[in-house]
């Protein structure tokens, strides 16, 4: 039995818009792009806003079970299902709101389709705009989706939910491991917010030899060799460098040599959303050569005054994360911190021998990172394989064969709704 394939829009219901400023004294929950955690694919930060303060993009009415697909930078795959507590609230016009027709489409089945490589590729191939790449709602709704019977859709969802739970357990384990470093820092030096051990204090500029912006030369998609360029997405929130998906610049004339990273250089993300600006990584010569992009500030530490590993760990403490959030300047949804402001950050400076002892302990903690990363990669590979099999029909082939009679009846009914 072959599944029919339809455009997603044909299996969804119409949605509506509403301007919350029409009820100026009432509050509403607003879901914008920043409200979605791209890792968990869930809405984690809906804002409570008064109607007369509603952003101009706050227009799309959402209901529980709707699937939100960001039409802005679709390569980032910012998607989520609307939970019950946000039923009837408002989302940004930066989303395409997909409301599955319950006679044809299971909402969770639709959601899993939106995280597949095929779906993302469909959007990326059609996005327009160099600085602000986006697609239309129509592009999202024109994507194709296989349409098995509802019973088989639910069976597919059941299997994928189990695999997704394994991914979440792996992610939880990684988060617990990430808490080891802050715990070690607090044990050895105390909370910088109160400096309970009475260490010397100053500003970051006291121990920085150089604070330089990265290169503004554009990395070319077609260049597959040369000098790799580290960008903001190569630094994870808690400071680990992720060197996947690197882009390269040719360096035939040596113009990039002055940007080359050295062991111990600290990379500070100076421009990002307000909650991500200030991500700070540490360069340990993971590659023979590399340069930072202009979104990053390269900080070179005076080794006679401070140990780079200590400064990196200090910049990733909850105290500094909050300090960065407070300093961030908003500009069209983005926050910016310049080199002079970085130099002025408050600094707690323990005895350098204690910093060295901390650095030695850090080596053992970092040694476990590749093992965790390999386990996470394996879990993700399994999930991606199951997704591919789910929408090709092979995942539930045996189950389908065993329930063929009932499924044929369902498929006939489904065809009537499509006609």
Which among 296, 301, 308, 302 has a CA at the least distance from the CA of 337?
A: 296
The domain limits of the chain are 1-147, 148-178+362-419, 200-349
Q: What is the pLDDT of residue 131?
A: 75
Q: Do domains 1-147 and 200-349 have the same CATH topology?
A: yes
pLDDT digits (tens, 9 = 90+) for 155-199: 999 999 999 998 888 878 777 777 888 899 999 999 999 999 999
Which residue has 């394989």 as its token pair?
Answer: 385
pLDDT digits (tens, 9 = 90+) for 103-145: 999 999 999 999 999 999 999 999 998 778 999 999 999 999 9
- Asked whether 344 and 203 are in contact (CB, 8 A), the reply is yes
CATH code reported for the domain at 200-349: 3.90.220.20
Residues 149-159 have a mean pLDDT of 96
Q: At what angle do helices 369-392 and 150-178 cross, to 10 degrees?
A: 170
Computed over every residue of the chain, the mean pLDDT equals 91
- Asked whether 118 and 391 are in contact (CB, 8 A), the reply is yes
Q: What is the pLDDT of residue 331?
A: 47
pTM over 0.85: no
Reduced to 3 states, what is the DSSP secondary structure of residue 130?
coil
Other C-beta atoms closer than 10 Å to the C-beta of 199 total: 15
Q: At what angle do helices 107-114 and 369-392 cross, to 10 degrees?
A: 120
DSSP structure string for 36-81: EETTTTEE--PEEEEGGG--TTEEEE--TT-EEEE-BSGGG--EEE
Which of 137-146, 221-230, 341-350, 407-416 has the least mean pLDDT? Answer: 221-230
The architecture of the domain spanning 1-147 is Alpha-Beta Complex (3.90)
């Amino acid at each position: 039995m072959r599944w029919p394939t339809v455009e997603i829009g044909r299996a969804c219901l119409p949605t509506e818009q509403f301007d919350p400023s029409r009820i100026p004294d009432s509050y509403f929950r607003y879901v914008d792009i920043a409200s979605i955690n791209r890792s968990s694919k869930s809405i984690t930060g809906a804002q409570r806003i008064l109607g007369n303060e509603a952003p101009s993009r706050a227009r799309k009415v959402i209901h529980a079970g709707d699937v939100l697909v960001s039409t802005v930078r679709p390569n980032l795959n910012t998607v989520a299902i609307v939970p019950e507590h946000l039923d009837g609230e408002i989302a940004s016009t930066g989303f395409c709101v997909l409301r599955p027709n319950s006679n044809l489409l299971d909402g969770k089945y639709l959601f899993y389709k939106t995280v597949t490589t095929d779906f993302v590729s469909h959007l990326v191939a059609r996005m327009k705009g160099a600085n602000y790449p986006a697609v239309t709602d129509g592009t999202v709704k024109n994507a194709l989706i296989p349409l098995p019977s509802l019973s088989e859709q639910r069976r597919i969802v059941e299997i994928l939910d189990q695999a997704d739970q394994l991914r979440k357990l792996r992610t939880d384990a990684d988060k617990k491991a990430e808490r080891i470093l802050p715990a070690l820092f607090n044990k050895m030096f105390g909370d910088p917010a109160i400096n309970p051990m009475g260490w010397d204090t100053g500003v970051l500029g006291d121990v920085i030899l150089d604070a330089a912006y990265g290169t503004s030369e554009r990395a070319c998609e077609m260049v597959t060799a040369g000098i790799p360029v580290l960008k903001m997405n190569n630094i994870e929130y808690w400071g680990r460098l992720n060197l996947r998906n690197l882009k390269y610049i040719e360096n035939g004339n040596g113009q990039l040599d002055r940007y080359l990273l050295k062991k111990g250089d600290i990379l500070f993300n100076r421009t990002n959303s307000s909650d991500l600006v200030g991500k700070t990584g540490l360069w340990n010569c993971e590659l023979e050569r590399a340069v930072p992009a202009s979104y990053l500030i390269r900080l070179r530490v005076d080794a006679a005054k401070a140990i780079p590993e200590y400064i990196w760990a200090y910049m990733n403490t909850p105290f500094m994360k909050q300090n960065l959030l407070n300093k961030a300047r908003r500009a069209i949804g983005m926050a910016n911190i310049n080199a002079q402001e970085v130099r002025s950050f408050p600094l707690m400076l323990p005895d350098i021998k204690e910093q060295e002892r901390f650095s030695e302990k850090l080596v053992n903690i970092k040694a476990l990172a590749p093992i965790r990363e390999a386990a996470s990669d394996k879990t993700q590979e399994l999930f991606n394989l199951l997704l591919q099999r789910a929408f090709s029909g092979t995942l539930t082939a045996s189950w389908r064969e065993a329930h063929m009679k009932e499924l044929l009846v369902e498929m006939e009914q489904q065809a009537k709704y499509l006609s």
